[in-house]
Amino acid sequence: MESEPVGGGDIVLSARDQSVSGAQGDVVLSAQRVSKSFGGVQVLFSVDFDLRRGEIHALMGENGAGKSTLVKVLSGFEQPTSGEILLDGKPVKLPPNGAAEALGIVVIHQEFNLAEHLTVTESLFLAREVAHFGLLDRKYMRRETRRVLDMLGSHISENAVIGSLTVADKQMVEIAKAISRDARIVFMDEPTAVLSRGETEALFKQVRKLRDLGTSFVFVSHKLDEVTELSDRVTVLRDGQWVKTAPTALLDGESIAQLMVGRELSSLYPQKSEPNVDEARVLSVVGLNTAHVRDAHFDLRRGEILGFSGMIGSGRSELMEAIAGLYPRVSGEVRIGDQLMPPGDIQATKAAGLAYMTKDRKSKGLLLGSDMTSNLTLQSLDQHGRFGYLSPASERKALARARRRFDIRVRDASVVAGRMSGGNQQKLLLAKVMEITPKILIIDEPTRGIDVGTKQQIYHFIAALAREGCSIIVVSSEMPEIIGLCTRIVVMRAGRIVGVLEGDEINEQEIMRYSAGLKQKAVA
């Protein structure tokens, strides 16, 4: 399987050409013709990559292109099947399981690697606890943890137990852990996928500061604006092959996207179509209170795409989970059609045609150790046989259908969900939720970790669903997505609905004003 870069004949600034130019730092880590196979499946094809001292190098590519795999190979978590890795110009065999940390190489994984029952401080100092004569210096460790967290602008308590944190906070701890380890080389695999804008900015500030001190970063993200903003150079992979390496200044978001998908992208967002004013109300929420959410009121009409915006922690997910019957309600009413929903009863809401897609796909969405079929049909086993019997043929059909409909790409169809690329896991989760053909679909962060091409597919899919009469609630922290998709946007702040925007009011400034608490209007 010898392969040439598929970049084509245009002016390609190859990795090797550049390092001779010498204008910038020397190469600290490089991959030379690295290939990687899992079982019989080849994932990386003779990839070249180099990382200079004091640079931020973005690694781009579609879901399943092999970015995470390359990161793992370069950090010792996986060994290359062939090819060489050079550290400071000398060939090395990186030690496995994170032992490369001793060489100054740390990884912020796309999948979290935190022990759920430790505190934040304990996680940060795991395996390098500070002790005097065997006695732990807890006070010092707590202070250090606080310092790093403050540096990142994070409000998480240093004594909080990991298991009690939100996904975003866990990600922050993971970042703090990497940054606190005086690394020379830091790999960040989609660190910002779950972060709010403020958190992202605080992170970038630290990254730039460390870069100027000589630390090198490899940055994987599907957010093109972040990549163009932060990185010094970009390398694009497509289908496991190296396509191009170039200074970021010579590229823009558009051209990176094109390199990734290998074709031109038409408009990202579909045509908006507003539902008729006299469309039936399919969901109404009245005076809903939960532990954190206060007095939520809103309606959803047939065929509507309603957006929920707000800062992380503003209570959007809690509200949605309470509506879906997954989170306890304190008071209030939820009606689907004209049927009153009992609190905390997910079976009832499911039977009434409501489906909820969690944003926490690792711990609430997918069975990572099971294959695609078991995951896909888990919620809808009734459809695949009678009297509790399951028909394998019917399940196989469902999988084939879902893979076509959602373009789920795996090289080996029997792969367990935990081994699929992040984006393809997300598509599988969406497919799973859609198996019950819901009338009301609540999607929490629909495109987390998804590449631009697939994003476009998902947006068009959501729009098409709405046109067919399905009602959709999109909860998202990505403002362009919510603005591009929704005809009405609810903004939440600190557990309350503080504004509902329609028509011309829908723009970033306005949403920001509401979610930052600068503006508020009485909501009917």
Ligand X SMILES: Nc1ncnc2c1ncn2[C@@H]1O[C@H](COP(=O)(O)OP(=O)(O)OP(=O)(O)O)[C@@H](O)[C@H]1O
C-alpha 5/C-alpha 445 separation (Å) is: 34
Examine residue 92 and tell whether it contacts other proteins (CB under 8 A): no
Binding track, positions 26-45, relative to Mg ion; x by CB under 5 A: --------------------
Measured between alpha carbons, how far is residue 188 from residues 119, 134, 246, 400 in Å? 22, 33, 19, 34
Examine residue 161 and tell whether it contacts other proteins (CB under 8 A): no
Examine residue 37 and tell whether it contacts ligand X (CB under 6 A): no
User: Residue 43: how many CB atoms within 10 A of its CB?
Assistant: 22
Q: Which does 368 bind (CB under 5 to 8 A by kind): other proteins, ligand X, Mg ion, none?
A: other proteins
CB nearer to other proteins: give 382 or 502. Answer: 382
Out of 5, 64, 275, 353, point to the residue binding ligand X (CB under 6 A): 64
Do residues 455 and 266 touch, judged by C-beta distance below 8 A?
no
How does DSSP classify residue 104?
A: T
Examine residue 401 and tell whether it contacts ligand X (CB under 6 A): no
Query: Which residues share a beta bridge with 491?
Result: 309, 499
CB nearer to other proteins: give 272 or 396. Answer: 396
CB nearer to Mg ion: give 66 or 315. Answer: 66
User: Residue 10: how many CB atoms within 10 A of its CB?
Assistant: 6
> Which residues in the 159-218 window bind ligand X by CB under 6 A?
none
Q: Which does 350 bind (CB under 5 to 8 A by kind): Mg ion, ligand X, other proteins, none?
A: other proteins
CB nearer to other proteins: give 121 or 425. Answer: 425
Measured between alpha carbons, how far is residue 210 from residues 141, 231, 293, 407 in Å? 21, 13, 39, 39
> Which residues in the 368-397 window bind other proteins by CB under 8 A?
368-370, 374, 377-379, 381-382, 385, 388-390, 392-393, 396-397
Out of 420, 441, 452, 474, point to the residue binding ligand X (CB under 6 A): 420
Using CA atoms in the order 424, 73, 166, 422, what is the torsion angle rounded to 10 degrees?
A: 0
Binding track, positions 100-129, relative to ligand X; x by CB under 6 A: ----------x-------------------
C-alpha 138/C-alpha 125 separation (Å) is: 10
Measured between alpha carbons, how far is residue 435 from residues 350, 373, 374, 380 in Å? 12, 12, 12, 6
CB nearer to Mg ion: give 237 or 486. Answer: 237
Tokens at residue 172, please? 């922050």
> Which residues in the 393-432 window bind other proteins by CB under 8 A?
393, 396-397, 399-401, 403-404, 413-414, 432
CB nearer to Mg ion: give 68 or 241. Answer: 68
Tokens at residue 183, please? 């690394």
Q: Which letter, b or e, does each residue of 91-103 get, where b requires 16 or more Cβ atoms within 10 Å of its Cβ?
A: eeebeeebebbeb
**Min separation Cβ 245 and ligand X, Å:** 16
Q: What is the torsional sign of CA 508, 518, 503, 318?
A: positive
Q: Which does 65 bind (CB under 5 to 8 A by kind): Mg ion, other proteins, ligand X, none?
A: ligand X
Of 39-47, 66-74, 331-339, 380-388, the window that binds Mg ion (rule: CB under 5 A) is: 66-74
Q: At what angle do helices 452-467 and 422-434 cross, to 10 degrees?
A: 10
Binding interface with other proteins (CB under 8 A): 39-40, 326, 346-347, 350, 356, 358, 363-370, 374, 377-379, 381-382, 385, 388-390, 392-393, 396-397, 399-401, 403-404, 413-414, 432
